[in-house]
Chain A
């Protein structure tokens, strides 16, 4: 921790904590950024990927801004990427107010200010930009129930000003290594997508498996264990959080691998891994930890860095639960190990590994291969084109002493150049109207034989058999196998939602709910089919984005509103080699009892009535038409005598909020309105709700007339949330004009 600078009352005004691991550096700013902060000097110490934690920045003076802009400007030149995490509202103000305050940095998360008027209290809520992308783009953060009183607390900022910087920022998905660094080394909250487990495998002299992301119940044990033999090494350096279910399934996997593999090794073990996954069960009598990360602090330069410790090399000290002596990678000074006693005790129990030099060499090579970016991205769009240099070179020299042979050579060269030029021109034309083609060649698939359900799925994706509904979801070819699987699951869930809707008999419901999204859905799917038939790559991309985003929303809404989500069954995958590089395609089967489908149907079509308004629960299919809502109450009917008819509440309206309270279902709507009516029946007041149409919010409400004289409160009542009175000790000044 660097104690910065000038002080009042003994406390440093600004403290900066630095943590470094490999190429990633994190700086946490705590306190006030003002004239005492030396931006240029600080910028000299940064490198690689820079993470700036600005959650505890209290104040920034105008001269502090000047220093900060110097810092971020220089850091933007030196660092390959800059991420801002947990930005305080103060920092968000500066992003919006000051040009170049962010440099080339991108905001990953921020604290949004919230307020509960009833409690007279202000709070902040951490918002992940990636998770709340739609809310940010719509400049609307939802209300939440106050933890103290249950009344709604609301986003206490002007959205136009607060999101001004963010809506102009491109969508950021941090590198998995950064996400894991944030989650594991710094214990930050990271978005779900960034934490999903990714697996890279390289087979050679041994099997090298790199894991990145969180280890939880979704760990694909069977997929990993299947066919493992010989020497196996797991690179766990980018492993994120490990929960109980993840630890159990990992231990089971190790038990199974220990039966078939000759050796099982672990590289780059993190403190979290050591603490949770070096139990006797998880080591399975066979797992050897080759090296591990240990935290070391340098009191000289204030850096805390995780350093890789070779277990075999330092075994003689580690076995006594003693850390080895290490020096600071920044300044070379001696460091102190800051690992916990529990961690050291676990390390002391590890067996001594014995690694041959050729195996070590293979591991280093394999690590480089699995960390390499995808083939297509690395080669870039010019890959495969002949080099212009080879054809152009002969043109330069021989002009002055040109004989016949030289002349022929020049003519040949010209032909070559023209030929190459023509190829380039054709390539450019092709790029302009790039044809859609993702069929590719299957280079690998889950099993040589297709499972029975896959054969059936070739002709239809939904069928019924013996009171069971079977749905097969499929993905388009995706770069990432996990992403492909997720797309397939979402497709299957969306199909189930559609099956639920198709069986509804209530005509009012069909008119109010299905009619709203039916055309959007069929048009979107039709457009995608047309684009694929036309093989127009751009059109496919656009249409597919629309369809898959809608399916994702529908699946999300289904998960959020159904009392139980159908479980996924078997899956099948193919690895493809396409003109755009390696792609994955997935199929997932989900089977649901027809009785359960009927149960869902009853849940979504159950009617609730109050004040002549009939509503039903939000239906997930509506997510096709409503990009921002995943809950609410849908109006099916408004009776002629209803007080809601005059303000214009209509069939099909989606009610999302009443009296600043979020409406999650038809039942909540009825309860909210009934309670309001009770409250206002004597004193009178306005009953107001918000309805959505697409992404347009419309308030709708009416006045309840006052029936009695308003009650008069005499003074002296103390409200529970009022704080005790305070006495000022300040001196009252003299009149400055005298």
Chain B
């Protein structure tokens, strides 16, 4: 069901005006509302995208429970677990937009990119996440040695952008984490059984059909790191439950052969993380880091998480 309307609920008048203008650019009708009581007036039988501030999360959840043809996008200014918990429970709430404070609206590019994609069903290229003129590199990874070289490549790339040492190492860790998942967790045999997940220390060599691909790029304001595997086995609930485990104090989950902290790394190292899963075909995990942030602000900045399945 392709959404034909956007229901926009935002109590701040200035933000509402701005978001209405931005979302109008998606090409579908936008219905702005300041008060959640207005929602019921506009709920007809047409599929829609409901965009709202997380302060109205309970109303959003109630509508998702009642209507199967509505998908939601929420924005939040806090790093608490409530929104992630709701997202874990509601498959049609897969987009959380973090923002620095209640005084600023969500990032314009991010909400436009997200909602446009929900409406059209298209998967835009990674370049769409950066300003034109970006630069970067792409590598295919088959062995642990390839992985380590690529991680060092990411660190060197960040170094050239004059990013602080801690940020470089954090993004190096992030790349390593994504590659470990793509190389050891993702590959399965013909019977669907994991091939390498039981031993992370093994010196494996992935075939062309199994090889992971890493991309790293920057437009000078953001750094983007993306890793693709060819198996599409990342379940949606693992994303949100993994992040929640991180907020709960990093309790490990060894049941999948690793430490079960991969999602925590993704959550901690990126301001926007995007999980793109085509079941059985392809998983792409992308993290975006904003270069103008200092660490003090970055630590407390609410994170954005997007999960696209299918």
Contact A65 B125 (CB under 8 A): no
CA–CA, A206 to B284, complex, Å?
A: 77
Query: CA A573 – CA B127 in complex, angstroms?
Result: 78
Which A residues are in CB contact (< 8 Å) with B149?
8-9
CB under 8 Å from chain A, chain B span 148-183: 148-149, 151-152, 157, 160, 162, 164-166, 169, 172-173, 176-177, 180
Given A115-B295, A156-B295, A723-B162, do A66 and B136 touch, yes or no (CB 8 Å)?
Answer: no
Q: Is B228's CB within 8 Å of the partner chain A? A: yes
**Inside 8 A of B28's CB, which chain A residues have their CB?**
none
A120 and chain B: residue at smallest CB distance:
B162
Residues of A within 8 A of B138 (CB): 731, 733-734
The bracket for how many chain A residues form the interface is: 35 or more
Task: Say whether A394 faces chain B, with CB atoms less than 8 Å apart.
Answer: no
Judge whether B137 is part of the interface by a CB distance below 8 angstroms: yes
A63 to B296, CA, bound (A): 27
Is B144 at the interface (CB under 8 A from chain A)? Answer: yes
> Is A226 at the interface (CB under 8 A from chain B)?
no
Q: Taking the complex as formed, is A60 at the interface, i.e. its CB lies under 8 A from any CB of chain B?
A: yes
In the assembly, what is the distance between CA of A7 and CA of B294, in Å? 32
Greatest chain B CB density within 10 A among A7, A8, A36, A730 is at A730
Point out the residues of chain B lying under 8 angstroms from A58, CB to CB: 169, 172
| A13: chain B residues within 8 A (beta carbon) | 148
Residue of B nearest to A60 (CB): B173
Interface residues of A in 721-738 (CB under 8 A from B): 723, 726, 728, 730-738
Q: Which residue of B lies closest to A726 (CB)?
A: B160
* In the complex, chain B residues whose CB is within 8 Å of the CB of A155: 296
For residue A169, CB closer than 8 A to chain B, the reply is no
Contacts of A117 in B (CB 8 A): 294
Which residues of B lie under 8 Å from residue A90 when comparing CB positions?
Answer: 166, 169
Assuming the contacts A36-B201, A59-B169, asked whether A8 and B180 have C-beta atoms less than 8 A apart, the reply is no
How far apart are the CA atoms of A156 and B166 in the complex, in Å?
Answer: 11
**Interface contact A35-B173, CB-CB below 8 Å:** no
Complex: A69 Cα to B261 Cα, angstroms: 13
| B123 neighbours in A (Cβ, 8 Å) | 737
**Cβ contacts under 8 Å, B264 to chain A:** 62, 97
B101 interface residue, CB < 8 Å from A?
Answer: no
Does A99 belong to the interface (CB within 8 Å)? yes
Q: Is A98 an interface position by the 8 A CB rule? A: yes
B124→A89 contact, CB < 8 A? no
Instruction: Check if B299 sits within 8 Å of A158, measured CB to CB.
Output: yes
* A61 and B252 within 8 A (CB): no
Chain A 616-654 interface mask (CB, 8 Å, partner B; 1/0): 000000000000000000000000000000000000000
**A173 interface hit (Cβ, 8 Å):** no
B258 engages A66 (CB within 8 Å): yes
Q: Tell me if B275 counts as interface (CB < 8 A to partner A).
A: no
Chain A, residue nearest B257 (CB): A63
* Contacting residues, chain B, for A738 (C-beta < 8 A): 125
Contact A730 B157 (CB under 8 A): yes
Most buried by B among A101, A117, A735: A735
Contact of A113 with B166 at beta-carbon distance under 8 Å, contacts A8-B145, A59-B176, A161-B300 already known: yes
Q: Are A733 and B169 in contact (CB under 8 A)?
A: no
Contacts of B169 in A (CB 8 A): 58-59, 90
Say yes or no: A8 contacts B200, CB within 8 Å. no
Q: In the assembly, what is the distance between CA of A197 and CA of B213, in Å?
A: 60
Interface centre among B251, B258, B259, B264 (most CB of A within 10 A): B259
List B residues 244-274 near A (Cβ within 8 Å): 246, 249-252, 254, 258-262, 264-265, 268
Whether A63 pairs with B200 at a CB distance below 8 angstroms is: yes
Distance between Cα atoms of A468 and B125 in the complex (Å): 84
Q: Which residues of A contact B148 (CB under 8 A)?
A: 6-9, 13
Q: How far is the CA of A160 from the CA of B78 in the complex (A)?
A: 14
Other-chain contact of A69, B134, B162, B249, B252 (Cβ < 8 Å)? B252
A44 contacts the other chain (CB 8 A)? no
A732–B258 CB distance below 8 A: no
Q: Closest residue of chain B to A95, judged by CB? A: B250
Interface residues of B in 89-124 (CB under 8 A from A): 123-124
Determine if A657 is an interface residue (Cβ-Cβ < 8 Å).
Answer: no
Question: How many angstroms from the CA of A571 to the CA of B149 in the assembled complex?
Answer: 66
Give per-residue flags for A146-181: 1 if the beta carbon is below 8 A from chain B beta carbons, else 0: 000000001111101110000000000000000000
B25 sits at the interface (CB 8 A):
no
CB distance from B277 to the nearest CB of A (A): 15
Known contacts A61-B176, A113-B295: does B137 contact A66 (CB below 8 Å)? Answer: no
Residue A34 interfacial (CB < 8 Å): yes
Q: Give the distance to chain B from A428, nearest Cβ to Cβ, in Å.
A: 38
A122 interfacial by beta-carbon distance below 8 Å: yes
A737 to B125, CA, bound (A): 6
Question: Which residue on chain B has the smallest CB distance to residue A115?
Answer: B294
Residue among B124, B126, B145, B166 with most chain A CB within 10 A: B166
| Separation of A59 and B134 alpha carbons in the complex (Å) | 27
When A6-B144, A62-B265 are in contact, do A158 and B300 touch as well, CB less than 8 Å?
A: yes
Chain A residue nearest in CB terms to B248? A99
Given A63-B258, A726-B160, A737-B124, the answer on whether A89 and B144 have CB atoms closer than 8 Å is no
Q: Mark A residues whose CB is within 8 Å of B.
A: 6-9, 13, 34-36, 58-63, 65-66, 69, 89-90, 93, 97-99, 101, 113, 115, 117, 120, 122, 154-158, 160-162, 723, 726, 728, 730-738
9 smallest CB-CB distances across A and B, nearest first, come from A8-B148, A730-B137, A98-B250, A733-B138, A158-B299, A66-B259, A62-B261, A122-B164, A62-B259
Other CB < 8 Å A-B pairs besides A34-B176, A733-B217, A735-B127, 17 of them?
A59-B176, A61-B173, A62-B180, A62-B265, A65-B261, A66-B258, A66-B259, A90-B169, A99-B250, A99-B252, A113-B295, A115-B164, A122-B165, A161-B299, A731-B137, A736-B228, A737-B124
Q: List 16 A-B contacts (CB under 8 A).
A: A34-B176, A35-B180, A35-B200, A58-B169, A59-B176, A61-B173, A61-B176, A62-B265, A63-B259, A69-B252, A97-B268, A99-B250, A156-B294, A157-B299, A161-B299, A731-B137
